[in-house]
Amino acid sequence: MKLSYIDPARGEANHFWRYLLTFFTIFWFSLGAGVILAVVAIAVEGSPDIATYSNFTMLFLTMLPFPVALLVLWGGLKLLHKRGLMSLLRPGGGFSWAKVLLSGAIWFVLAGASDLVLWLVDPANYSFSFDPAAFFPFMLLTLILVPVQTSTEELIIRGYFTQWMGRFSQTIWLPLIVPAVVFMALHGLNPEVGAYGMLLTLPLYLGIGLLLGWVTLKSGGLEMALGLHAANNLYATLLVTFPNTALPSPALFNIKVYDPLLALAQQVIVIVLYLGILYAWKRSWLVPGEEEIA
C-alpha cells in the first residue's frame, strides 16, 4: 500500500469551507497577537518607531505570533479535518529526525561555504562584531523561537496549503508552484524588499519556496523542509546578517554592503549544490512523492 503526501487532503472532511475557515482563523488570530505584541512593544520601548527597538524586542515582536498560528492550525486540523499534525509532517508515518538534521546541516554548511568564498573575494565587506553579552542571550532565545517560526511556516505553507492545492492536480506542479508564489508574496512587506527592490529580493523567496516544496513533495514528508528552513533562518540570524534585514540581530558577521543580485546568484548555487548532494548521497529519500507504509 502506498500513500502520497497529498492523500490526506483527498479524503473526507476536506471541503473548501474547512480550509477557508482555518486560513481565516489563522490570519485573524495571528494579526490579533501581533497587535497585542505591538502595544506591549510600544509600552516597553516608549516609541512606536520600530527602527529604534532593541534586538530582543524585535525578536519577540516578530516571532511570538507564530505559536498562536500553530495552535490555530492544530485546532483546525482536529476540529474541522479530523486529523492531526502528523498528516502534514509525514502522512505515511515514520517521521525521521535524521532527515531534519541532515538537511539542515547540509544547507548550513553550504551557506557558510558560500559566504566564505565571498569573504575571500572581498574581505572588507564582512565585519566581525562578536559581543558575548548580547550574542549568547539572543542566541538562546533564537534557538527556541526561530525553529517554532520556521516550522509553523512549513506546516501551514508546505504542509496544509500544499496538500490543499494537490487536491486539484494530478501532477507536482500546482502544489509546488502556487504555495511558493504565496510564500514569496507573504514576504513582500519585509524591510529588505523595500530597501533593495522587489525584482531582486522576491525571487530569493520564490527560489527557497520552490526548493522547500520540491523536497517535501518528492520525499513524502516535511522533514527536509523543516531542517532546511530552520538552518537558513538560524544562519541568517546568528552567523551572517546584513542591513535592512527582517530580523536585526547581534550576529557574528555583518555584511556592510548587501548586493541582492549577488545574493540571488549565491542562493542559486547553494540550491544546486544542496540538491546535488541529496541526490548523490540520499537519493532514496527523494522518491517521486510516495512512501511505503505497512
What residues form DSSP beta bridges with 4?
290
Q: Please report the pLDDT score of residue 289 as a whole number.
A: 40
User: Looking at residue 6, what is its pLDDT?
Assistant: 92
Residues 198-220 have a mean pLDDT of 95
- Cβ neighbours, 10 Å, residue 274: 20
Burial of residue 101, with CB atoms counted within 10 A of its CB: 0-12 exposed, 13-18 middle, 19 or more buried: middle
Place of cell 557574528: 252
- Over residues 1-37, the pLDDT tens digits come to 344 899 999 888 999 999 999 999 999 999 999 999 9
Higher pLDDT, 171 or 224: 224
Three-class SS state of 291 = strand
The contacts of residue 59 (CB under 8 Å, 6+ apart) are: 138, 141, 142, 145, 247, 249
Closest alpha carbon to 223 in 96, 110, 105, 109: 96
User: Which tens digits make up the pLDDT trace of 127-171?
Assistant: 998 999 999 999 999 999 999 999 999 999 999 999 999 998 888
Q: How far apart are CA 223 and CA 99, in angstroms?
A: 6
Domains of the chain, by residue range, sit at: 2-292
| pLDDT tens, residue by residue, 252-263 | 999 999 999 999
Contact in structure between 8 and 86 (CB atoms under 8 Å): no
Helix (H) or strand (E) holding 180: helix 173-186
What is the four-CA torsion angle of 153, 156, 157, 161, rounded to 10 degrees? Answer: 180
User: In the structure grid, which three cell numbers stand for residue 127, read together?
Assistant: 565585519
Tell me if 167 sits within 8 A of 10, measured CB to CB. Answer: yes
94: left (phi over 0), alpha (psi -120 to 50) or beta: left
The total of other beta-carbon atoms located within 10 Å of residue 148's CB is 16
Please write the tens of the pLDDT for every residue from 116-129: 999 999 999 999 98
> What are the start-end ranges of the E strands in the chain?
2-4, 126-128, 240-241, 253-255, 290-292
Is 60 exceeded by the pLDDT of residue 232? yes
Neighbours of 79 (CB within 10 A): 12
Distance in angstroms (rounded) separating the CA atoms of residues 146 and 259: 25
Has residue 72 got a pLDDT over 60?
yes
Residue 229 predicted with pLDDT over 50:
yes
Q: Is 67 exposed, middle or buried (0-12, 13-18, 19+ CB in 10 A)?
A: middle
Per-residue pLDDT at 10: 87
Tell me which residue of 126, 122, 131, 128 sits closest to 256, measured CA to CA.
126
- Report the alpha-carbon distance of residue 257 to residue 276 in Å, rounded: 30
Q: Are 61 and 37 in contact (CB under 8 A)?
A: yes
Asked if pLDDT for residue 213 goes beyond 70, the answer is yes
Average pLDDT of the chain?
Answer: 93
> Is a pLDDT exceeding 80 seen at residue 175?
yes
Residue 294, pLDDT > 50, answer no
Find where cell 486560513 sits: 23
